[in-house]
Amino acid sequence: MSGDSGAPTNFIRQIIDDDLASGKHARIHTRFPPEPNGYLHIGHAKSIVLNFGIAQDYPGSCNLRFDDTNPAKEEEEFVEAIKDDVRWLGYDWDALRFASDYFEQLYEYALELIRSGKAFVCDLDAEQVREYRGTLTEPGRPSPYRDRSIEENLDLFQRMRAGDFPDGSRTLRAKIDMASPNINMRDPALYRIRHGLIHHQTGAEWCIYPMYDYTHPISDALEGITHSLCTLEFEDHRPLYDWVLDNITIACHPRQIEFSRLNLEYTVMSKRRLTQLVQEKHVSGWNDPRMPTIAGLRRRGYTPEAIRSFCEAVGVTKSEGTVEMGVLENSIRGHLDAVAPRRMVVLDPLKVTISNYPDDTSEALPAGNHPKDESMGTREVVFTREVYIDRADFREEANKKYKRLVLGGEVRLRNAYVVRCDEAIKDADGEIVELRCTYDPDTLGHNPEGRKVRGVIHWVSATHGQRAEVRLYDRLFSTANPGRGGQDFLDDINADSLRVLSECVVEPALTSATAGERFQFEREGYFVVDAVDSRAGAPVFNRIVSLRDSWGKIAED
RNA sequence: UGGGGCGUAGCUCAAUUGGCAGAGCGACGGACUCUGACUCCGUAGGUUGUAGGUUCGAUCCCUACCGCCCCAGCCA
């Protein structure tokens, strides 16, 4: 049942299997319930893949529901961005809902709670409530307003809605148990008063807003959710979730199941911190390619497929851990290796003159777009007397392990000829400014006989290539767990997380690349045409991820 | 300190519910290669947090410890 997509099973899917087998449910209904107070991040993707993935694999459905009970923090911009991100990830909701759709029903249920003596209007202010609540080790004391008559509570609550009382002056509270060892059960607030806010869905219609703990179970039940999946910090809230549904007249009682949230090395995931990065302009916005947001990963060049397979790879459990960044990187490498056309780009150009190649000639050489997939076809690269190679691909001398160009040595120019380096020309400071090489005309398409070249390097024609900007992104933070030990996480920002290279040379086939197109720059990594800053005929490239590099780990000789 | 959770390989997860502790990723080594990529082959890596107990037999059941996370918003 759960294996249809090849998605690995987990304890939640096992519970669902059991519920289907026992006949408790014939159909599964999940929901993804974001609060529109920020952009979605990779941690939300885990929840999205879980919830929508279950709906896909079982006979089931999944709603997108905005948990919009706190208009002070929520905005329409965020609801639109979230819808975009969910769709981009490849999912479509069965129903689009807002918790605010249920405000009227929520209000009616609150009246029911009051009528049955399960809720009361409390006149304590926030500080007094805190004093009465007790501590982790001491029980709380009942509010002096706890035993008001039902009639008075009804009247007061109706007047709360009518706007008769100022912010913070009163709350509606559940009447549960002030001595409960679970603080969430110590007569939690159900409604608070908030004047003067324009809610993005309901406008100025309400001046009282329901709390999450009250809204969520009822919203779930109203939608016929069977399994309400949330993160571990809500485990303590489950008794309250159940209490609400057990004490009102409602037919459905979803099962809340908690799983551990995603933690990723070298980044931060809390909305508070992401918001701070954006507001204080440590990044260019929610979609900065270094951000772990879906919008950031999208602009960075990640694919929905890669993010989905990443989410499946990390699994779903109740134990907390931190996933290595390499797992995310491998997910995109794996996908793009299969589908990204290959191109040649020189990031740090060093001019090479092929002395024995005629000045007035050029050759259009066919180059495969993919080494293992001929269906991806070929394009032409232009070979000329002057080409660029990368500075890192030449050394005056090196040991045998160095598989690139050395003085007096031979190397193949990818898709073209074998060349030998005869001379390195230096400027007054001793810096190499040009290489003089000779090429072997008999090495096109086959290797020379009787001798072995050191390796293969990429190149671009100096006369046919085009300058382009390439942005090299690295992890946003320099430590695996930013801000650990209580210090400011901003101190851990990686100062080199973005390097802009403006003098790169790209092969002709790349000048017409359009926004969002992804390529492998051979021997370098995977790159995407930036959707924001590229211009027609002048693409800007973002590095998505470098190629795996076993050479970089070997100590320099 | 009260309550709620979680501890299995470097990381993420399995282990048919008491029957020889495995996989993927990573690391390391090799093969292949016109990408130091991809692919393929192989190796290492464990006192299952600790100490007891029950049992022929414990990752699994019991007891006690230890460590880590969450909870004292009129946030979600």
Confidence at residue A161, expressed as pLDDT on a 0 to 100 scale: 98
Q: How confident is the model over A45-62, as a mean pLDDT?
A: 96
Clarify whether A35 is annotated catalytic.
yes
Spanning CA of A54 to C1' of B15, the rounded length in angstroms is 24
User: Which nucleotide does the CA of A417 lie closest to, via C1'?
Assistant: B34
DSSP A252-318: --PEEEEEPPP-BTTS---HHHHHHHHHTTSSSSTT-TTSSBHHHHHHHT--HHHHHHHHHHH---S
Residues A363 and A460 in one domain: yes
Does any domain span residue A505?
Answer: yes
Residues A456 and A483 in one domain: no
Task: Indicate whether A474 pLDDT > 70.
Answer: yes
Task: Indicate whether A528 pLDDT > 70.
Answer: yes
Residues ≥6 apart with Cβ < 8 Å to A397: A406, A407
Confidence at residue A378, expressed as pLDDT on a 0 to 100 scale: 97
Q: Which nucleotides of B are covered by protein (CB under 7 A)?
A: 1-8, 10-14, 17, 24-28, 34-39, 68-76
For B28, nearest residue by CA–C1' is A550
Residues A440 and A494 in one domain: no
Q: How confident is the model over A273-281, as a mean pLDDT?
A: 97
Residue A500 CB coordination number (10 Å): 9
Residues A512 and A421 in one domain: no
Residues ≥6 apart with Cβ < 8 Å to A115: A150, A154
Q: What percent of chain A has pLDDT over 90?
A: 94
R_g (Cα) of chain A, nearest Å = 31
Does any domain span residue A361?
Answer: yes
**How is residue A264 written in tokens?**
């990723």
Last residue of a domain, one of A420, A449, A464: A464
Establish whether the CB of A15 is closer than 7 Å to any nucleic acid atom in strand B.
Answer: no
Residues ≥6 apart with Cβ < 8 Å to A464: A362, A382, A384, A507, A508
Confidence at residue A2, expressed as pLDDT on a 0 to 100 scale: 40
**How is residue A557 written in tokens?**
């000789």
Residues A441 and A452 in one domain: yes
Residues A476 and A494 in one domain: yes
The ipTM of this complex is 0.96
User: Which nucleotide does the CA of A126 lie closest to, via C1'?
Assistant: B74
Tell me the pLDDT tens digit for each residue of A156-193: 999 999 999 999 999 999 999 999 999 999 999 999 99
Q: How many structural domains are present in chain A?
A: 3
Tell me the pLDDT tens digit for each residue of A62-117: 999 999 999 999 999 999 999 999 999 999 999 999 999 999 999 999 999 999 99
Residues A112 and A190 in one domain: yes
Residue in the block written with tokens 């519920």: A19
Tell me the pLDDT tens digit for each residue of A281-296: 999 999 999 999 999 9
Does any domain span residue A296?
Answer: yes
**Cα(A222)–Cα(A219) distance, rounded to whole angstroms?**
5
Does any domain span residue A52?
Answer: no
SS (H, E, C) A511-526: CCCCCCCEEEECCCEE
Q: Within window 372-401 on A, which residues have Cβ closer than 7 Å to strand B? A: 372, 401
Confidence at residue A551, expressed as pLDDT on a 0 to 100 scale: 82
**Cα(A332)–Cα(A318) distance, rounded to whole angstroms?**
26
Establish whether the CB of A342 is closer than 7 Å to any nucleic acid atom in strand B.
Answer: yes
Q: Within window 405-444 on A, which residues have Cβ closer than 7 Å to strand B? A: 412, 414-416, 443-444
- CATH assignment of the domain containing A481: 2.40.240.10
Q: How confident is the model over A240-245, as a mean pLDDT?
A: 98
Last residue of a domain, one of A449, A464, A479: A464
Confidence at residue A5, expressed as pLDDT on a 0 to 100 scale: 52
CA distances to A84, A92, A262, A320, A345 from A9, rounded to whole Å, are: 28, 22, 17, 18, 42
Residue A226 in contact with residue A59, Cβ under 8 Å?
no
Confidence at residue A486, expressed as pLDDT on a 0 to 100 scale: 76
A73, A146, A194, A261: the catalytic one is: A261
Task: Indicate whether A552 pLDDT > 90.
Answer: no
Establish whether the CB of A124 is closer than 7 Å to any nucleic acid atom in strand B.
Answer: yes
Confidence at residue A6, expressed as pLDDT on a 0 to 100 scale: 61
Any idea of the CA torsion for A24, A102, A81, A70, to the nearest 10 degrees?
-120
**Cα(A425)–Cα(A350) distance, rounded to whole angstroms?**
11
Please tell me whether residue A190 adopts helix, strand or coil conformation.
strand
Does any domain span residue A151?
Answer: yes
Q: Within window 200-219 on A, which residues have Cβ closer than 7 Å to strand B? A: 209, 211-213, 215-216
What are residue A133's phi and psi, to 5 degrees?
Answer: -70, -20
**Cα(A380)–Cα(A364) distance, rounded to whole angstroms?**
6
Q: What percent of chain A has pLDDT over 70?
A: 98
Domain that holds residue A155: 104-212
DSSP A329-386: HHHHHHHHHHHPPEE-EESSEEEEEETTS-TT--EEEEEES-SS-GGG-EEEEEE-SE
**Cα(A122)–Cα(A189) distance, rounded to whole angstroms?**
9
What are residue A433's phi and psi, to 5 degrees?
Answer: -115, -15
User: What's the distance, Cα to Cα, between the start and end of chain A in Å?
Assistant: 55
Confidence at residue A101, expressed as pLDDT on a 0 to 100 scale: 98
**Cα(A139)–Cα(A310) distance, rounded to whole angstroms?**
44
Beta bridge mates, A98: A66
Last residue of a domain, one of A434, A464, A494: A464
Confidence at residue A8, expressed as pLDDT on a 0 to 100 scale: 79
A66 half-sphere exposure, CB direction, 13 A CA radius = 30
A13, A31, A35, A133: the catalytic one is: A35
Confidence category of residue A507, pLDDT binned at 50, 70, 90:
very high
Does any domain span residue A121?
Answer: yes
Beta strand A227-231 with A255-259 is: parallel
Residue A223 in contact with residue A95, Cβ under 8 Å?
yes
**Cα(A378)–Cα(A370) distance, rounded to whole angstroms?**
8
Residues A382 and A284 in one domain: no
Does any domain span residue A6?
Answer: no
Confidence category of residue A399, pLDDT binned at 50, 70, 90:
confident
**How is residue A300 written in tokens?**
């960075």
Residues A302 and A401 in one domain: no
Residues A432 and A540 in one domain: no
Does any domain span residue A75?
Answer: no
Residue A396 CB coordination number (10 Å): 11
Spanning CA of A485 to C1' of B66, the rounded length in angstroms is 21
DSSP state of A214: H
Residues A320 and A379 in one domain: no
- CATH assignment of the domain containing A150: 3.90.800.10
Task: Indicate whether A443 pLDDT > 50.
Answer: yes
Residues A330 and A382 in one domain: no
Residue in the block written with tokens 């793009």: A336
Residue A443 in contact with residue A412, Cβ under 8 Å?
yes
Residue A311 in contact with residue A355, Cβ under 8 Å?
no
Indicate the average pLDDT of chain A.
Answer: 96
Any idea of the CA torsion for A103, A107, A110, A112, to the nearest 10 degrees?
-130
